[in-house]
Structure 1
Amino acid sequence: MKVYPSTNIRNVGIVAHGGAGKTSLAEALLFNAGATKRLGKVDEGNTVTDYHPEEIKRKVTINTSLAFAEWQDNKINILDTPGYSDFFGDVVSALRVVDSALVVVSAVAGVEVQTEVVWEEAEARNLPRLAYINKMDRENANFQKAVESMQERLSGRIVPVQLPIGAADTFSGVIDILKQKAYTYDGSGNEKEVPIPDEYAGEVESLRETLVEAAAEGDDELLMKYLEGEELTVEEVRRGLKNAIAGGKVIPVLCGSALKNMAVKPLLDYIVDYLPSPAEVAGKPAAELEKENLAALVFKTLADPYVGRLSMFRVYSGILKSDSVVYNANRESEEKIGQLFALQGKNQVAVTEMRPGDIGALAKLQVTTTGDTLTTKTNPVKLEGIDFPEPTLPVAIRPKSKGDEDKLSNALTRLLEEDPTLRLSKNTETRETILTGMGETHLDITLERLQRKFGVEVEMSTPRVPYRETIRASVTRVEGKHKKQTGGHGQYGHVFIDMSPLPDKEFEFTETIFGGAVPRQYIPAVEKGIREAMQEGILAGYPVTNIKVNLADGSYHTVDSSEMAFKIAAGLAFRKAVEQAKPVLLEPIMNVEIIVPEQFMGDIMGDLNSRRGRILGMEPKGKNQVIRAQVPLAEMYRYAINLKSITQGRGHFRMEFAQYEEVPANIAEKIIQEARKEKEE
């Protein structure tokens, strides 16, 4: 395969709300460029970019996948990204390495929630954007309405550069506003130039005026000429438009039907003619970028139990060659590079080298993970990594088969390499393995992958809350006596303890033994006995915390006393003391920060109140509001689902542990009863 210099590469991330037709458009781009011999269909499960079994089954994109099209002596690297919020991490990693975004909008639905989210992400990265209004062949398709929804709800100057001829059943082609030419398409994507229908003449003229004005703003020289009333040539408008797109000032809108393969070739032309190359983005000639030190960023890892690890990367400078040695700047370790690949979905095309700006894949890297930089040891470069969204939906997981613990642990390690938006932790108090993901679908698919890839079946449940127990009163001289007479040596341990609440510390042990009532060698055993007894409180069996215990008195037997006897006596005294000291149940309280559009504030506040939350404050952040609150952890396990439902997917939150607080009596009673019932069972 030909090696392309960075001037002849375009890196485009296709982004959209789920169901707008991203994958169908990627398929049509590949087919029209001759990269594939037939037009795959999502419904038939035979597209290039949706090839994972769970994608074929669900008919949605779950992983960002890479494909390339060669067009007009340029290589277009296409990253087809997921459209559902549960897989937003893959959108973030794709937009980190592309030079522009192709935003797909449905002609029927217009701008949807995830369209806004991906648009904001592209905007934050200053990415040039093209928009494509897809599904013009569908019933209720309305180009004008779709454009208006973009202009109302998205930032930037959104300017149509095409006009559809007809809509739904009558959609037959497009009018190029700049060239002032009309084209019709048959089902094979063949283009035929036709006269502009009379009924569109006025609208074409008006849109051309808007386009020329937008293009003039992309170039100071052209703006002066335009303001002085001079006519701009087609070439000048093109130059101005390219600059305005590169600067994010103008977002051109094209249209067509990916499924019917209509008006897709003009989009290929637009990508090559108007979107910037890696050299233009870097502001350096290709030759200069090639001479620089190697710097390549790994932005996605695929873990396969048979093939091993496949790492997708983008080269930023220098030349990456097959069969070479590179240096991982993040792990401070050398990596042996085998064969480099250009990816066409799951198919690998071997290449000898990759120049700056190109995107490809490597197999079987030993230490490298997503976000790492591959460079040279002599003069290492470390590129900015990838800031993935934090997962917020936790579940407790355990293998269905008893003997699968090790198998599960190994499989999860592999999946975590592949998906940086998963978190795995072990709660030592509840003895549960907690897997946290971006949403229900994300977790369901993770468990499916565990079974399909690694043969581990897993059960999922809501995590248990790590409650604690403490006391609210002080007690003195509580007795604990362990006396047992058997044949030979007996057992004898006898203690008196004082106990009091200790608000700022988990545990403190002191002794005020006088006159050797308890011999020195047995005092550590008393402390040990209390520490062990603290592991299981008397109310619901949760660990006891925030107490001070003083060993005040006791007695011993010269023959029968032992460390074990004093340890048992201390445990007995502890349980008696806790019973007398007004024991209460404590629950973890979380600091929660919720970011939502203003229109959902009332609903969010009401919902937080119903969760026993305390609002601490609010402040504006861009177009959103930030609400800070403290909420019991017990009320937050399913919050990710509720927040998505209340805000139609626009809100997000994060939380961290704040402190333990007493559980209200009515709720504590239920928890204690449940714990006792569980113990009996």
Structure 2
Amino acid sequence: MAANATQHIRNIGIFAHVDAGKTTTTEQILYRSGRIRSLGSVDAGTAQTDFLEVERSRGISVRAAATRFSWQGMTINLVDTPGHVDFLSEVERSLRVMDGAVLILSAVEGVQAQTEVIWHALRERNIPTLIYVNKLDRIGADPMGTLKQIRRLLSPLAAPIQAPCGVEDTFAGISSVLRAGSEPEETKGYLQLLEETVAEQEEALLNYYLEHGTLPMEELTDRLPALTQSGAIFPVLFGASGRGIGIESLMEAMVTLLPAPTAVMDGPVSGVVFRIERDSAMGRIAYVRLYSGVIRNRDSVFNETQQIEEKITQIRKIDGQKAEDVGLLEAGDIAAVCGWNQARIGDIIGCSDHVPGETRLAVPLLTVQVRWSSEADYPAVVAALQELADEDPLLDLQWLQEQRELHLKVMGPIQIEVLTHLLNHRYGLKAEFGQPSVIYKETPAQTGEGFIAYTMPKPCWAILRFLIEPGERGSGLTYSAAVRSERLLDRYQNEVARSVPEALQQGLFGWEVTDLKVTLIEGEHHVWHTHPLDFALATPMGIMDGLSHTGVKLLEPMLSFRLSVPEENGGKLMNELILMRGEFDTPVVRQERMEIEGKLPVATSLDFPARFGSLTKGRGVLATFFAGYQECPPDVSAERVRRGVNPLDQSKYILAFRNALAGSK
């Protein structure tokens, strides 16, 4: 492994809750590194990394933006991610390819809902993280209060390496607590927190600290990079990005404390596509993080996910809206590849040997129907949405051609607004979205068997018997086969294995069936009459027959919530929670505020965040997180219109399937 070649590279993601000042911080970094000549503004719509028209007009980041700058001899690939929960899928994809992270918080609002979601994802992936507390010049800024909140809600290993000088309108800058000498009084509390956190990492240091009441300054400075990179400590820095205060010391920490990428220079090509863009001249552009090997212009590269090979026409290093043809991408680095017209987000390039797994954060809980303003626009709307679904696969576009319907999965109302805007400005199309409805799921109510003998009309022969059992909540689908290959050839068994997940996309109520174990316990083919597609046809009929015997339970998506309200609003809030079928623990009263934690169904609480503000006269704090699916009460029912013919109507289903095959020849 040739790690030395990557020592000059850093791959860093910038993460935050919306409005913590993430894009402004990125803008300042690019300006101070000399990458841009003048500062852009989020409010004015001139920020370098807000390159979509919708981002400029709305003042929010919608897509992760990759940019690149040099600082102190280092090349930093910086990815500015969206802060709004509706665009969590962009954060999810960026996490996969980062070696280090900067998490930005506002010193006024502190730890917010999205901050916690991102933090848990960063910890799940063990990504070394710097915490930057921004907006110290704002009214209401509370640096020490924010630091205590970080240590309570995120990690007790968060430790300040700086102290602010003043706050709000007296904020004058920051001072490092790592400089030897007589510390100003205001830095002593911050230094003590750092020393205590570092001392607890090693017995010898702890003994020294207990004996002397302090740690040698050079000991702290020397150990900080290794402690940060191992996740033993999370350095906290301060600043006011709007005024450019604290930016250069943040950049210094990024290059000295966050790790270089590990890369296999002389290994096989191994990388992942984490982002797709479109360019008017070059067509589809795939952003690739390479973990092993080297790729060059005009190379033909194998796409393991799709089992295809595609030729590279150009490799570009992208800086916001500027691009440079570099012709080469080496392990450890990130670049944009042109020429891969089939590439999709998540595709593994070369082999998967060195590519880390995915982190699932974003779970779309709502589905919407798209309507177009004029019949003539129908084909163009389909094509545009297919293109947008390539850029964000979680949209999961469902095009029901017979019913002439289009359905998308979405995270929330802001995403619907942005999609409307994109369709209008990028494609010149006017489309409307119906009211969002909640995505339910189904699960078997008990154990049972499904059987199908598809032997007519000839030529065909496929006999299958499935055992269907309920699984643990959140387990998804577990499939196995217990049939000898002489009874059912391996190639037919493979067809069944491929068809089972497809067959479970629509259960008895039309929703995806999950949390179950399916075992193929009997199977039979015919030497003369069987074709592999017979099993693609038979599997849904066998599965649906099984579900009709087991029956299904309806599952609904849940949110866990944490809220804090003035004590006088507590009674009204609890009544609201009960009306929404909420479950919650005994409220805790702290300093005349009531704190409540619990769970809420998504279906009953769609408008709750909007109503919460008026219920508490703007003095409440609400954080919600997706908490998985759970069984609906017996009085809740939800059925979705089935796409296509129901496999329970076997004769009609066979006819429809065979006609589709005949039509495709």
| TM-score, structure 2 as length reference | 0.68
- For 1:119 and 1:320, locate their aligned partners in 2 and report how far apart those are by CA, in whole Å: 33
Map of 1:265 onto structure 2: 248
Query: Residue 322 of structure 2 is aligned with which of 347, 350, 371?
Result: 347
User: Pairwise mapping of residues 294-333 of structure 1 onto structure 2 (< 5 A)?
Assistant: 294-304=269-279, 307-333=282-308
Map of 2:389 onto structure 1: 416
- For 1:124 and 1:100, locate their aligned partners in 2 and report how far apart those are by CA, in whole Å: 13
Map of 2:626 onto structure 1: 652
**Could you tell me how far 1:292 is from its partner in structure 2?**
1.6
- For 2:80 and 2:396, locate their aligned partners in 1 and report how far apart those are by CA, in whole Å: 25
Residue 120 in 1 paired to residue 84 in 2?
no
* Change in CA separation of 1:364 and 1:387 when aligned onto 2, cut-off 3 Å: farther
* Change in CA separation of 1:445 and 1:607 when aligned onto 2, cut-off 3 Å: same
Specify the code of the residue in structure 2 equivalent to 1:118: I
Map of 1:372 onto structure 2: 347
Question: Do the aligned residues in 1 keep the contact of 2:365 with 2:438 (CA within 8 Å)?
Answer: no
- For 1:415 and 1:599, locate their aligned partners in 2 and report how far apart those are by CA, in whole Å: 35
Residue 201 in 1 paired to residue 179 in 2?
no
1:418-447 CA deviation, whole Å, 9 max, x = no partner? 012312225689764222211011012112
Question: Do the aligned residues in 2 keep the contact of 1:140 with 1:168 (CA within 8 Å)?
Answer: yes
- For 2:341 and 2:206, locate their aligned partners in 1 and report how far apart those are by CA, in whole Å: 54
Map of 2:376 onto structure 1: 403
User: Pairwise mapping of residues 27-38 of structure 1 onto structure 2 (< 5 A)?
Assistant: 27-38=27-38
Query: Residue 222 of structure 2 is aligned with which of 222, 230, 239?
Result: 239
Map of 1:425 onto structure 2: 398
Map of 1:567 onto structure 2: none
- For 2:269 and 2:571, locate their aligned partners in 1 and report how far apart those are by CA, in whole Å: 52
- For 1:662 and 1:232, locate their aligned partners in 2 and report how far apart those are by CA, in whole Å: 61
- For 1:133 and 1:663, locate their aligned partners in 2 and report how far apart those are by CA, in whole Å: 46
Question: Do the aligned residues in 2 keep the contact of 1:299 with 1:312 (CA within 8 Å)?
Answer: yes
- For 1:390 and 1:448, locate their aligned partners in 2 and report how far apart those are by CA, in whole Å: 22
Map of 1:41 onto structure 2: 41
Question: Do the aligned residues in 2 keep the contact of 1:216 with 1:223 (CA within 8 Å)?
Answer: yes
1:155-181 CA deviation, whole Å, 9 max, x = no partner? 241211111112222222211100148
Specify the code of the residue in structure 2 equivalent to 1:439: G
* Change in CA separation of 1:409 and 1:604 when aligned onto 2, cut-off 3 Å: farther
- For 1:639 and 1:433, locate their aligned partners in 2 and report how far apart those are by CA, in whole Å: 25
User: Pairwise mapping of residues 572-611 of structure 1 onto structure 2 (< 5 A)?
Assistant: 590-597=554-561
Question: Do the aligned residues in 2 keep the contact of 1:321 with 1:340 (CA within 8 Å)?
Answer: yes
1:405-464 CA deviation, whole Å, 9 max, x = no partner? 211111111000001231222568976422221101101211221222222211222379
Map of 1:57 onto structure 2: 57
Question: Do the aligned residues in 2 keep the contact of 1:388 with 1:420 (CA within 8 Å)?
Answer: no
* Change in CA separation of 1:452 and 1:213 when aligned onto 2, cut-off 3 Å: same
**Could you tell me how far 1:246 is from its partner in structure 2?**
1.6
User: Pairwise mapping of residues 506-545 of structure 1 onto structure 2 (< 5 A)?
Assistant: none
3-state SS, counterpart of residue 456 of structure 1? coil
Specify the code of the residue in structure 2 equivalent to 1:153: L
| TM-score, structure 1 as length reference | 0.66
Question: Do the aligned residues in 2 keep the contact of 1:643 with 1:651 (CA within 8 Å)?
Answer: no
Map of 1:387 onto structure 2: 360
Q: Which has the larger radius of gyration?
A: 1
- For 2:353 and 2:319, locate their aligned partners in 1 and report how far apart those are by CA, in whole Å: 31
Question: Do the aligned residues in 2 keep the contact of 1:40 with 1:46 (CA within 8 Å)?
Answer: yes
Q: Matched residues, percent identical? A: 29
**Could you tell me how far 1:231 is from its partner in structure 2?**
7.6
**Could you tell me how far 1:201 is from its partner in structure 2?**
2.2
* Change in CA separation of 1:259 and 1:642 when aligned onto 2, cut-off 3 Å: same
- For 1:428 and 1:434, locate their aligned partners in 2 and report how far apart those are by CA, in whole Å: 11
3-state SS, counterpart of residue 300 of structure 2? strand
Residue 293 in 1 paired to residue 257 in 2?
no
* Change in CA separation of 1:657 and 1:400 when aligned onto 2, cut-off 3 Å: farther
Map of 2:500 onto structure 1: none
- For 1:449 and 1:121, locate their aligned partners in 2 and report how far apart those are by CA, in whole Å: 29
3-state SS, counterpart of residue 278 of structure 1? coil
Specify the code of the residue in structure 1 equivalent to 2:431: V
Question: Do the aligned residues in 2 keep the contact of 1:317 with 1:355 (CA within 8 Å)?
Answer: yes
Query: Residue 255 of structure 1 is aligned with which of 208, 219, 238?
Result: 238
Specify the code of the residue in structure 2 equivalent to 1:113: A
Gaps of 5+ in 2: 440-448, 451-507, 510-551, 565-569, 586-595, 613-620, 639-665
Question: Do the aligned residues in 2 keep the contact of 1:450 with 1:456 (CA within 8 Å)?
Answer: yes
Gaps of 5+ in 1: 182-195, 280-285, 467-503, 506-543, 546-587, 630-634, 665-681
User: Pairwise mapping of residues 89-108 of structure 1 onto structure 2 (< 5 A)?
Assistant: 89-108=89-108
- For 2:437 and 2:66, locate their aligned partners in 1 and report how far apart those are by CA, in whole Å: 40
Residue 443 in 1 paired to residue 428 in 2?
no
- For 1:362 and 1:203, locate their aligned partners in 2 and report how far apart those are by CA, in whole Å: 50
* Change in CA separation of 1:362 and 1:106 when aligned onto 2, cut-off 3 Å: same
**Could you tell me how far 1:382 is from its partner in structure 2?**
6.1
3-state SS, counterpart of residue 290 of structure 1? coil
3-state SS, counterpart of residue 651 of structure 1? strand
Specify the code of the residue in structure 2 equivalent to 1:648: L
* Change in CA separation of 1:227 and 1:328 when aligned onto 2, cut-off 3 Å: farther
Specify the code of the residue in structure 2 equivalent to 1:394: T
- For 1:87 and 1:644, locate their aligned partners in 2 and report how far apart those are by CA, in whole Å: 19
Which 10-residue stretch deviates more, 381-390 or 72-81? 381-390
- For 2:348 and 2:209, locate their aligned partners in 1 and report how far apart those are by CA, in whole Å: 46
3-state SS, counterpart of residue 19 of structure 2? coil
- For 1:435 and 1:49, locate their aligned partners in 2 and report how far apart those are by CA, in whole Å: 27
**Number of residues paired by the alignment?**
505
- For 2:64 and 2:14, locate their aligned partners in 1 and report how far apart those are by CA, in whole Å: 10
* Change in CA separation of 1:66 and 1:644 when aligned onto 2, cut-off 3 Å: farther
Question: Do the aligned residues in 2 keep the contact of 1:310 with 1:361 (CA within 8 Å)?
Answer: yes
- For 2:636 and 2:243, locate their aligned partners in 1 and report how far apart those are by CA, in whole Å: 63
* Change in CA separation of 1:369 and 1:649 when aligned onto 2, cut-off 3 Å: farther
**Could you tell me how far 1:404 is from its partner in structure 2?**
1.8
Specify the code of the residue in structure 1 equivalent to 2:226: N
Query: Residue 261 of structure 2 is aligned with which of 268, 271, 278?
Result: 278
**Could you tell me how far 1:643 is from its partner in structure 2?**
7.0
- For 1:403 and 1:608, locate their aligned partners in 2 and report how far apart those are by CA, in whole Å: 46
Map of 1:140 onto structure 2: 140
Question: Do the aligned residues in 1 keep the contact of 2:159 with 2:193 (CA within 8 Å)?
Answer: yes
Q: What is the Cα-based RMSD across aligned positions, in Å? A: 3.9
Which 10-residue stretch deviates more, 239-248 or 589-598? 589-598
1:244-286 CA deviation, whole Å, 9 max, x = no partner? 212222111111121111221111111111111113xxxxxx6
**Could you tell me how far 1:225 is from its partner in structure 2?**
5.7
Map of 1:335 onto structure 2: 310
1:160-207 CA deviation, whole Å, 9 max, x = no partner? 1111112222222211100148xxxxxxxxxxxxxx7xxx62343443
Question: Do the aligned residues in 2 keep the contact of 1:439 with 1:640 (CA within 8 Å)?
Answer: no
* Change in CA separation of 1:655 and 1:148 when aligned onto 2, cut-off 3 Å: closer
**Could you tell me how far 1:653 is from its partner in structure 2?**
5.6
Map of 2:333 onto structure 1: 358
Map of 1:459 onto structure 2: 432
Question: Do the aligned residues in 2 keep the contact of 1:15 with 1:102 (CA within 8 Å)?
Answer: yes
Map of 1:184 onto structure 2: none
**Could you tell me how far 1:6 is from its partner in structure 2?**
1.4
Question: Do the aligned residues in 1 keep the contact of 2:42 with 2:56 (CA within 8 Å)?
Answer: yes
3-state SS, counterpart of residue 18 of structure 2? coil
* Change in CA separation of 1:63 and 1:389 when aligned onto 2, cut-off 3 Å: same
- For 2:343 and 2:579, locate their aligned partners in 1 and report how far apart those are by CA, in whole Å: 46
